[in-house]
């Protein structure tokens, strides 16, 4: 614990009251002075998104902290997450004035701001919205580098040794009378983001277009010393702020949060193995209470579990009212995932330092900005949407008659959000071999959970094939139909009601709709899919000793009963089916 300087007096409540009266007066005066003259608040745009970066500045979010100092620093980072969203993607027209407070608005608890570190009257104290000077200072430094005209900027009244204020590169802000404002004679764009460790500010414009004659900042002559810590480590225990600060911000070093959606047994096991006491699991609902096996996650003892029950129930209700297939259903699923993500974002504690997130929630959480300033891993359960759409386009080119392969594509904003989030993620955890191969060294391949084998029974007559999917192009229905029409004598059973409509490839085949239990009497399970993320029946078939014919994109583990196709192909599939149904007799050598 640091010691305060003997010449510093312990702050008193009357000083704080006088300070509040003073700032209220300044706020009123500034408000009256700007009636009818306030700069506009700008919206996000994309006209300059591909322009050159004319300035980029970075500063660290975290430092080596004692447990007592961590809570206020975590609050500061949370405030920066919120504030960065207000500035990211702004495009300022020629002559337009960018005002920090006009753009951000007042920082309040209702808007989600927390107690952070604020420099006030010589102390680093807890304050709602504290820590935003890190953003304003970085904006000021970027504006200087870009050659913007600085209209208003204020330095701190005291200087923390070692900070940018020693070089006169800081910019303090205080609602609403201490502002930061700049402009240019040409259009320009602001980008603000938080990585796991840094705050980043960029300014884009036509290369070199913003350069102006801006005087270089000069260092201050005598920095005024401040404590090295904050209210939580200050030795002035008689200060009226000190006890409340300790009470509201208990010492901590952060925790992990697991933001989960549909349960996979592989992910359930992995999360349980990598949780620590004090971590938190977020699930859509209590799967056992609501009798929803899909949500029955198994949080270890000592892990707090929170649910987004209302959002999950509304998503479930909407799904029941939708068709089993098509663009409307996909759009509704995305809206439901976004609502779950918003519910989780509201429940995240600023002290959360690390996140493990289900992939379908990832782009929505990225858009909300809650992953900034945190490290995060992804439970990878499907192809990234861009790759998914590439595979669907490839399949559509092979089968232009399909009514489903081209019925839905995600919007560019969602694709970009997932692409950026996956690039920023740490580990990509998956049991799917094809997904792991796609991401290479970044993937953490975990083992599939093999189910208990089911009893099999033989049936007389023709061999039977089980197609564990609906009659859809993405599952390889066209390739399977063409293979069977090449002269293979076998009965076919499929699962699910969705189909290709007038382009149904199974018309004319000896087939019928079956059920999962038909696996017990099947000669083989066939899944020549273009896309398959969770091949549960194929895993059950392998565990039970039923031959499986599947593409590499099914991501199945190596197995003696598995026959792998490099890609969906009717001729290759027909050859493998024949070899499985009619194996060549073993040749004995005398």
Give 10-residue mean pLDDT values along the chain (590 residues): 50 71 80 84 92 94 79 91 95 94 93 82 76 94 93 78 61 89 94 95 82 49 50 60 59 87 97 95 94 94 94 90 76 93 96 96 96 96 96 96 91 95 96 97 97 88 94 96 94 93 92 95 97 97 97 97 97 96 62
For strands 352-358 and 304-307, give the pairing. Answer: unpaired
Structure token digits, residue 148: 């913007």
Using CA atoms, how far apart are residues 366 and 526, in angstroms rounded to an integer?
Answer: 38
d(CA 63, CA 252): 14
Q: What's the farthest any 2 CA atoms get from each other in the chain?
A: 107
**What is the pTM for the complete model shown?**
0.87
Quick one: how far is CA 299 from the chain centroid? 21
Contact between 242 and 236 under an 8 Å Cβ cutoff? The reply is: yes
Q: Are 255 and 352 in contact (CB under 8 A)?
A: yes
Q: What is the pLDDT of residue 211?
A: 62
pLDDT of residue 363: 97
**Helix and strand tally (H, E) in the chain?**
15, 22
Under 8 Å between Cβ of 42 and 98:
yes
The residues near 19 (Cβ < 8 Å, ≥ 6 apart) are 120, 121
State the DSSP string of 171-187: ---BTTTB--EEE-SS-
Q: What is the pLDDT of residue 167?
A: 61
Backbone angles phi, psi at 174, to 5 degrees: -155, 120
Handedness of CA 271, 277, 280, 285 (dihedral sign): positive
**Which residues, other chains included, contact 441 with Cβ-Cβ below 8 Å and sequence gap of 6+?**
none
Q: Render the burial of 370-405: b for 16+ CB within 10 Å, e for the rest.
A: bbbbbbbbbbbbbbbbeebbebbeebbebbeebbbb
Q: Report whether 122 contacts 158 (CB < 8 A).
A: yes
With 0-12 / 13-18 / 19 or more C-beta atoms within 10 angstroms meaning exposed / middle / buried, residue 545 is: exposed
Query: What pLDDT, on the 0 to 100 scale, is given for residue 24?
Result: 80
What are the structure tokens assigned to 576, written together? 């493998």
> How high is the pLDDT of residue 419?
96
> Three-state DSSP class for 222?
coil
Task: Give, as one character, the DSSP assignment of residue 303.
Answer: -
Give every strand in the sheet of 149-152, ordered side by side: 97-99, 181-183, 149-152
Chain-centroid distance of CA 307 in Å reads 18
The residues with which 511 forms a beta bridge, in sequence order, are 492
- Confidence (pLDDT) at 3: 42
Written as six digits, the tokens of 167 are 């070089």
Please check whether residue 318 is in contact with residue 332, taking contact to mean a CB–CB distance below 8 angstroms. Answer: yes
Nearest C-alpha neighbor of 233 from the set 123, 350, 113, 121: 123
- Tokens matching residue 424: 């920023």
The DSSP secondary-structure symbol of 44 reads B
Half-sphere exposure of 90 (CA within 13 A, CB side): 28
Q: Give whole-number Cα distances, 261 to 258, 269, 294, 420, in Å.
A: 10, 14, 9, 21
Closest CA to 420 of 408, 412, 410, 409: 412
What structural domains does the chain harbor? 17-248 (no CATH), 255-445 (3.40.50), 464-581 (3.40.50.2000)
Buried b (16+ CB within 10 A) or exposed e, 239-274: bebbeebbeebeebebbbbbbbbbbbebbbebbeee
The b/e string for 201-236 (b: 16+ C-beta within 10 A; e otherwise) is: bbbbbeeebbeeebeebeeeeebeebbebbbbbbeb
Per-residue tokens: 237? 């225990």
């Amino acid at each position: 614990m640091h010691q305060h300087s003997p010449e510093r007096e312990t702050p008193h409540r009357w000083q704080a009251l006088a300070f509040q009266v003073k700032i209220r007066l300044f706020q009123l005066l500034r408000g009256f002075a700007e009636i009818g003259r306030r700069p506009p608040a700008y919206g996000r745009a994309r006209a300059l998104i591909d322009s050159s970066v004319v300035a980029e500045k970075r500063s660290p979010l975290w430092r080596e902290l004692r447990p007592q100092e961590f809570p206020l620093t975590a609050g500061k980072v949370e405030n920066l997450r919120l504030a960065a969203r207000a500035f990211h993607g702004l495009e300022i027209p020629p002559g337009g004035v960018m005002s920090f407070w006009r753009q951000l608005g007042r920082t309040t608890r209702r808007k989600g701001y927390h107690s952070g570190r604020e420099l006030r009257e010589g102390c680093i104290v807890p304050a709602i919205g504290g820590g935003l000077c890190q953003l304003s200072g970085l904006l000021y430094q970027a504006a200087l580098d870009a050659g913007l005209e600085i209209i208003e900027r204020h330095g701190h009244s005291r200087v923390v040794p070692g900070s940018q204020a020693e070089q006169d590169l800081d910019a303090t802000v205080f609602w609403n009378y201490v502002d930061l404002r700049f402009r240019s004679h040409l259009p320009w764009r602001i980008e603000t983001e938080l990585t796991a460790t840094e705050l980043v500010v960029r300014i884009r414009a036509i290369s070199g277009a913003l350069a102006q004659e801006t005087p270089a900042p000069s260092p201050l002559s005598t920095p005024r010393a401040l404590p090295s810590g904050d209210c939580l480590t200050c030795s002035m225990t008689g200060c009226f702020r000190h006890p409340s600060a300790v009470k509201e911000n208990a010492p901590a070093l952060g925790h992990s949060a697991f933001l989960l959606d549909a349960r996979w047994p592989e992910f359930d096991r992995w999360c349980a193995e990598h949780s620590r006491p004090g971590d938190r699991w977020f699930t859509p609902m209590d799967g056992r209470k609501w009798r929803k096996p899909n949500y029955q996650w198994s949080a270890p003892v000592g892990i707090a579990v929170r649910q987004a029950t209302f959002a999950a129930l509304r998503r479930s209700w909407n799904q029941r009212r939708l068709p089993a297939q098509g663009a409307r259903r996909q759009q509704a699923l995305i809206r439901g995932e976004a609502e779950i993500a918003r519910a989780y974002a509201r429940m995240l504690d600023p002290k959360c330092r690390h996140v493990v997130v289900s992939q379908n929630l990832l782009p929505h959480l990225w858009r909300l900005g809650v992953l900034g300033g945190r490290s995060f891993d992804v439970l990878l359960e499907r192809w990234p949407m861009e790759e998914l759409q590439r595979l669907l386009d490839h399949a559509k080119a092979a089968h232009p008659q399909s009514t489903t392969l081209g019925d839905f594509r995600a919007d560019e904003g969602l694709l970009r959000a997932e692409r950026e989030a996956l690039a920023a993620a740490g580990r990509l955890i998956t049991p799917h071999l094809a997904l792991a191969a796609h991401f290479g060294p970044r993937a953490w391949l975990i083992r599939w959970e093999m189910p208990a084998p089911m009893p099999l029974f033989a049936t007389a007559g023709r061999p039977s094939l089980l197609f564990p999917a609906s009659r859809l192009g993405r599952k390889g229905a066209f390739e399977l139909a063409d293979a069977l029409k090449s002269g293979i004598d076998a009965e076919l059973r499929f699962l699910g009601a969705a189909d290709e409509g007038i382009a149904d490839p199974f018309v004319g085949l000896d087939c019928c709709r079956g059920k999962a239990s038909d696996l017990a009497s099947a000669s083989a399970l066939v899944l020549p899919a273009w896309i398959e993320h969770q091949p549960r029946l194929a895993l059950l078939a392998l565990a039970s000793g039923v031959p499986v014919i599947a593409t590499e994109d099914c991501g199945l583990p190596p197995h003696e009963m598995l026959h792998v196709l490099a890609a969906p192909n009717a001729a290759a599939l027909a050859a493998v089916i024949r070899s499985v149904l009619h194996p060549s007799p073993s040749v004995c050598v005398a």
